[in-house]
Amino acid sequence: MVKFISLSSGSNGNSYYIGNDTTALLIDVGVGARTIKRRLAEHDLSVDSVKMVLVTHDHVDHIKHLGSFTERYGLPVFATEKLKRALSYHFCTRGRLGGCVHSLKLDERTEWEGVQFTPFQVPHDATETVGFYINFFGTKFTFLTDLGEPTDVAVKYASMADNLIVESNYDVDMLMRGDYTAALKMRIMQNNGHLSNEQTASLLKRAYHKSLKNIYLCHLSQNNNTPALAYESAKDALSSIGVKVGSDVMLYCLPRCEASTKYCL
């Protein structure tokens, strides 16, 4: 049985777990090793089952604890060549990854411990940002955790997943009425910033297919969104194309500062 858990999702830190009885992986390490260990233990899971780490990009909320986690556990870390170079001098990881980092090529499948994963480029204002398509022993995931617009490439890989983890970062009205500076609002809304609820809704309408079982909305803004707004926007989009949430597909909002429910797939 495959288990998926969001260990933390949002600007406070991001890390996601996929595992079964024999192996597991993490996508990003934006929270500390002790937090990861504790949150896995809450679900009767051990961090010792984790065999690899996949890295989406080099923003602090995704790699803040990657260096210390790698030093502690010595696990292989997978990143694109461009991101690998950036990690070698980033203050969170400089001098702490040793020979653990393995290079990936965009749109090229890699297999490790029986798990197949493919990175693909998405628009976001980091050194390089990727989504991941993961075939975990037949259970298929697509991760789109940070991107500024729903590109054709993002839709393509989302259309291949049984389980889609996709950003629904902000509500436009909340952002525009909020206290952020004009420059920060522009950074969030630009094409290499973050996805709004409306953009996520558009992606879901384009990417939905009958094999899609679960949609997890991630990286919700604490200040510019609510789970209710994100959920209703996605639900309305799916309903507009005749998809019934709760029967045709399940829809969830992932919590920001705690582990999600353990989803057994």
Domains in the chain: boundaries: 3-264
- What would the pLDDT profile of 25-58 be if each residue is shown by its tens digit? 999 999 999 999 999 999 999 999 999 999 999 9
| SS3 of the chain: helix, strand, coil, percent, to 5 | 30, 25, 45
Q: Average pLDDT over the chain, rounded to whole?
A: 96
Query: What is the pLDDT confidence band of residue 264, given thresholds at 50, 70 and 90?
Result: confident
Has residue 175 got a pLDDT over 90?
yes
- 173, containing H or E segment: helix 172-177
CATH of span 3-264: 3.60.15.10
Mean pLDDT throughout 242-261?
95
Residues 27 and 54 sit within 8 Å (Cβ to Cβ): yes
pLDDT of residue 262: 87
Query: What is the pLDDT confidence band of residue 257, given thresholds at 50, 70 and 90?
Result: confident
Has residue 63 got a pLDDT over 90?
yes
What is the 3-state secondary structure of 89-157?
HCCCCCCCCCCCEEEECCCCCEEECCEEEEEEECCCCCCCCEEEEEEECCEEEEEECCCCCCCHHHHHH
List the beta bridge partners of residue 142: 133, 164
Mean pLDDT throughout 123-147?
97
Residues 25 and 53 sit within 8 Å (Cβ to Cβ): yes
Has residue 101 got a pLDDT over 90?
yes
pLDDT of residue 99: 83
- CB proximity list for 170: less than 8 A, separation 6 or greater: 188, 194, 196, 197, 221, 224, 225
- What would the pLDDT profile of 13-25 be if each residue is shown by its tens digit? 999 999 999 999 9
pLDDT of residue 98: 84
Which two tokens mark 129?
Answer: 């940002």
Mean pLDDT throughout 212-231?
97
Backbone torsions φ then ψ of 73, nearest 5 degrees: -110, -15
- 12, containing H or E segment: none
Has residue 247 got a pLDDT over 90?
yes
pTM across the whole model: 0.97
CA distance 120 to 133: 8
